[in-house]
Amino acid sequence: MNKVVNKNRIIGERVGNKPGPLMIVFAQIHGNEPAGYKAVEELFKAIDLEYVKNDNFEFCGRIIALQGNMKAAKANVRYLKKDLNRSWLPKEIDRIRKTKVVESLDPEDQEIKENLDLIEAYIDLCKPPRVVVLDLQTTTAHGGIFTIPSQNPEARSIALTMHA
């Protein structure tokens, strides 16, 4: 299956003046959550301003922000057919990668396909020593914010310092 690299999905990107990790930031995995999109726009403004204000500013690696579910965002709904956030499972990703005709996939699977192709293209381009993924979300839950880290010690350490 051909790669689908949709550069319209890229909200912003900055490349540091030193090598480092590739940080992929997802905004709007749920289409009706624009706060993450606005947050990464502010992040890029802050990085740009820091370069202007601080001659000693060093930024290592590359950060790219992606609009996770463009179709749902355009319709201003959480999702069209299924919750994209619940679909990033190895079995699902394998099925999506093996599908020969992209148009036969449901809208969220097409979104996953485009995201995967873009991420893989950046990994091939940058050959980063590490890849870090951050998914920005909002919540309407009464319990407030939370995070579910992977089981590696670094992710757990970050989650424990969030004071959420």
For the whole model, what pTM was predicted?
0.86
Residue 134 bridge partners (DSSP):
25
- From residue 117, alpha-carbon distances to 9, 19, 54, 143, 158 in Å are 11, 23, 35, 35, 28
CB contact burial 5-22 (16+ within 10 A = b; e otherwise): ebeebebbebeeeeebbb
Residue 88's nearest CA partner among 133, 145, 151, 146 is 133
Rounded CA separation 137/160 (Å): 18
**pLDDT given at position 162:** 65
Residue 21 has pLDDT above 90, yes or no: yes
DSSP state of 103: G
| Share above pLDDT 90 across residues of the chain, in percent, rounded to a whole number | 76
112-157 pLDDT per residue, tens:
999 999 999 999 999 999 999 999 988 766 666 666 667 778 777 7
38-71 pLDDT per residue, tens:
999 999 999 999 999 999 999 999 999 999 999 9
